[in-house]
Amino acid sequence: MSEHVNKTFVAIKPDAVKRGLTGQIISTIEDKGMKIMGLRMVQATDQMLEKHYEEHVDKPFYSELEEYMKDGPIVAVAVEGVHAVENMRKIIGDTDASEAHPATIRGRFAHMSMEHADDADSFYRNIIHASATEDEAEKELGIWFSEDQLYEYQNTFQQEVR
């Protein structure tokens, strides 16, 4: 495997699952040449969320974040590709949907700005998460997947690049 190919974690959050966006989001990821190595629908537990968001557990907004992430199932996706961590962050778009490019996942499907959420005294929902760094991806993949839930295979994009 090339040194430029890496793995990352993507979470399709409960609000996107409830809106029926899972298939379109997965198609967008695959259309960009990324390989799905693992895919599972899971109800987040307190323990999973505490590990995933360990840097936020003591912050005032954590209880709302935890409630949001437990509001329905999450579709956990393990993704592999060329510069997967960096490219998935570009594919999902800016955290604030009102700033996200229209061609990104958040630009296409998210509808709330952070400013609106604050004004409405509502928790900000942004439909998707992708790891920010390779270290974060490794940690998050370990939280949401066991090794036997990840599959190695060559997709057609990998076969074309020789």
For helices 84-92 and 22-31, give the axis angle rounded to 10 degrees. Answer: 130
Helix (H, G, I), strand (E, B) or coil at 36: strand
Q: Which pLDDT value is given to residue 135?
A: 97
Instruction: Indicate the pTM of the whole model.
Output: 0.88
For helices 84-92 and 134-144, give the axis angle rounded to 10 degrees. Answer: 80
pLDDT in tens, 16-49: 999 999 999 999 999 999 999 999 999 999 999 9
pLDDT in tens, 65-76: 899 999 999 999
Q: Which pLDDT value is given to residue 15?
A: 92
Domains of the chain listed by start with CATH number: 5-146 (3.30.70.141)
- Rounded Cα–Cα distance for residues 70 and 37 (Å): 24
Residues in the chain: 162
SS3 content of the chain, % helix, strand, coil (to 5): 45, 15, 40
Residues identified as active-site: 129
Q: Which pLDDT value is given to residue 159?
A: 55
Q: Which pLDDT value is given to residue 24?
A: 97
pLDDT in tens, 96-134: 777 889 999 988 987 664 454 444 445 446 889 999 999
**Per-residue exposure over 13-34, b if at least 16 CB sit within 10 Å of its own CB, e if not:** bbbbbeeebbeebbebbeebbb
